[in-house]
Structure 1
Amino acid sequence: MSLPSVLTLIADRKAGPLKPEAIDVARSLVKGKAPIVLSEGEAVDIPCPTPGPGAASAATIRATLAPYQVDTLLLKTRGRRKAVLVADMDSTIVTGETLDEMAAALGVGEQVAAITRASMNGEIDFETSIEQRVALLAGKSASVLEDVWQNVTLTDGAKELVQTMRKHNARTALVSGGFTWFTQRVAELCGFDENYGNILEITDGKMTGKLGGPVLGPDAKLTHLEALTTERGVQLRAALTTGDGANDIPMLASAGLGLAFHAKPNVKKVIGTQINFSGLRAHLFAQGYRAADFVTD
């Protein structure tokens, strides 16, 4: 009979293999059983009892293993595999911030990046920030969109995450505070079932400095999550969400498994399940998938 909890350890493949010492330390912290290898030298599951009074907390485990550059997720064994995936785009599924990159190419990079930082850190609300940033693009050529797209890079494991979950009948959605011009292309590249974002208004080949519809911000991200789970016929606990910024917090906090992915400090303060070292493959290991089960190109 399986134990009720599991501690998953994931190493950053680029930084080196998962060290046996790290596994031993982790087992000691949670009184865990022998590790189950999910990916040799990269990820293991350590079955363990439900943490009781005086047991090491998830935060303590994460801090203790951090010197080994290992991500740790202490989760319930039941219901690990999720039926819905909702992912942020910028700095999550793709490595950069598309709006910041557009602005840099157009000579307003510093102004836009400053607003982006303030928004992602929760210093100003998202709706205000996106309107201020888009206003700085007024009159600029929309050809910059294609230029930025040529340099967009997927985060390690993005395709594997989406396509593996889809193979196992999960509904997958890219929900971004960025622009639909990019979300449509990224969604197609990764294989997402659907995508949502803000509409950038363009007239006669130039950006007007306005959005073509209502702002898709944190509340809208949560609304999409709720709608997707309802359509899939499951509860929120059957959903996995991932993102890095303040506008992702509502959907991260509401899902059964919300992963703060290389997130901003204010996000880490409120979301305890975190991926700080490894790539998006960690989201599959968190669900108990083995690397041999991944769908790869």
Structure 2
Amino acid sequence: MSQLSLAATSSANLAEEIILNCWYEIKNNHLIQTNLLPKANHGVASVAFGCDFSAAKLLNLVEFLSQHGFSNLSICCYQPTETLLPAWCLYSDSQKPLSPLLLQAFSAEQGYQLVQLTNPANVNEAGLLLMDMDSTAITIECIDEIARLADVYDDVAAVTAQAMAGQLDFTQSLNQRVAKLAGIDVALINELKLNLPLMPGITELCQYLKAHNWHLAIASGGFVPFAEHVQSLIGLDEVHANTLEFKDNRLTGNVTGTIVDAEQKARVLEQIQQRLGLDNRQTVAMGDGANDLKMMAKAGLGVAVHGKPKVVEQADTAINEGSLLQVAYLLAIPLDYTL
């Protein structure tokens, strides 16, 4: 078995010094190669990503985890795709995860991202990714942009912010905001629809998951025309969103049909999971707002995407900056996934 002294390693990129996808025990500041393959359904996996890790950064991370009770650590460096930097997974078999806000505060000071997972999904098995649309799959809130066209942006955006922070009932706030959009011409809706800015990395993430036979869907408190266009752009299997009412090619200010609120998003996840016959572990939900929390709680893994503090705190894990392709780090850890 090979070993590497972290104290004697000066390389700025420690990944160049070890074997990818191999596990090492950490003993006395040495990495000792082992045949260990941790079980996915036991223990906690701490995943650090977003920079080239030096030995000093890694030792600092080990010290942080040790201070919070994570002992007998083993470690593995892996790279889900060639376009992502290698990530480091530190495995402990004896702890519950720390608060995502604590992990975020520590790792932000260190210049990388750090998440913790229990019983993670396996990208090599069939799975489901169900995501929010506004400020998740795309960078904007569509209802706010429609409001710009009606010259009521400030009023609508303020209500949107309160709803996403969980300060207002979603259905009530949706009806309140849509009522202010009465009279908007369908041509302007179509123009906005054709210029939706995708969240960086969402196309690559969907391509990655599709290559592994995952089912991809949106459950959005936004609107059908935009969700269907996003579906065509990134190859989604299905979308669930709210239906705007039109009369004489203008918005009436009403929403028709079932409102896709927090409860409905959770129901959609459960319905798709049952239809596909998936184990709950193989379901992933991601979003940014308070109305995504029930969906994320229902999933095997809930991922906050550039989320509000309340969402980050309550989610299983979070992507706080950078490309959404980084979700691949959470699904491709080299673990033993057998029961």
TM-score interval, normalised by the smaller of the two chains: 0.7 to 0.9
Counterpart residue number, 1:141: 185
SS at match of 1:216: coil
Counterpart AA for 1:104: R
Distance 1:106 1:154 in 2: 23
> Aligned pair 1:8/2:47, yes or no?
yes
Q: Which residue of 1 is the match for residue 59 of structure 2? A: 24
Separation in 2 of the partners of 1:262 and 1:282? 12
Q: Give the aligned residue type for 2:300.
A: G
In 1, are the aligned partners of 2:89 and 2:333 still within 8 Å (CA)? no
1:163 aligns with 2:207: yes
- Check conservation: 2:121, 2:301, Cα contact below 8 A: no
- Deviation of residue 282 (structure 1)? 1.7
Letter matched to residue 9 of structure 1: A
The match for 1:36 is 77
Q: Distance in 2 between matches of 1:187 and 1:212?
A: 21
Q: Check 1:124–1:61 CA distance in 2 against 1; reply closer, same or farther (3 A cut).
A: closer
The one-letter code matched in structure 1 to 2:38 is L
Q: CA RMSD of the aligned region, Å?
A: 2.3
- Pair 1:45-2:84 in alignment: no
Q: What is the CA-CA distance between 1:152 and the residue it aligns to?
A: 1.4
> 1:22 and 1:255, CA in 2 relative to 1: closer, same or farther beyond 3 A?
farther
Unaligned runs of 5+ in 1: 12-16, 291-297
The structure 2 residue matched to 1:62, chosen from 104, 107, 116, is 104
Deviates most, 166-175 or 115-124: 166-175
- Kept after mapping to 2: 8 A contact 1:71/1:278: no
Quick one: structure 1 residues 265 and 76, their matched pair in 2 at CA, closer, same or farther if it must change by over 3 Å? closer
Which range moved further: 254-263 or 40-49? Answer: 40-49
Following superposition of structure 1 onto structure 2, how do residues 166-245 of structure 1 map, counting pairs within 5 Å? 166-245=210-289
* Pairwise CA distance, 1:69: 3.7
CA–CA distance in 2 between the matches of 1:105 and 1:195? 25
Bigger radius of gyration among the two = 2
Counterpart AA for 1:151: N
- Cα separation, partners in 2 of 1:205 and 1:159, compared to 1, 3 Å: same
- Counterpart of 1:103? 147
- The 2-side partners of 1:275 and 1:143 are apart by 35
Partner of 1:72: 114
1:250 paired residue number:
294
Q: Where do 5+ consecutive residues of structure 2 fail to align?
A: 1-35, 335-339
SS at match of 1:48: strand
The Cα offsets for residues 88-141 of structure 1, whole Å up to 9 and x where unpaired, read as 001001011111011112201001101101100111111001101110011221
> Identical aligned pairs, as a percentage?
30
| Structure 1 residue 249, shift from structure 2 partner | 0.5
Distance 2:100 2:168 in 1: 30
How far did residue 80 of structure 1 move?
Answer: 3.5
After superposing the two structures, state which structure 1 stretch, 267-276 or 233-242, moved more: 267-276
2:133 to 89, 92, 113: 89
Residue in 1 aligned with 2:171?
127
- Would you say the 8 A contact 1:141–1:205 is kept in 2? yes
Aligned residues: 284
Q: CA deviation at 1:169?
A: 1.7
Question: Could you tell me whether the CA contact under 8 Å between 1:3 and 1:77 is conserved in 2?
Answer: no
The Cα of 1:35 is off from its aligned counterpart by 3.8
2: CA distance between counterparts of 1:57 and 1:26?
A: 16
- Structure 1 residues 234, 138: closer, same or farther in 2, change over 3 A? same
**Matching residue's letter, 2:241:** G
Given that 1:18 and 1:41 are in contact with CA atoms closer than 8 Å, whether structure 2 keeps it comes out as no
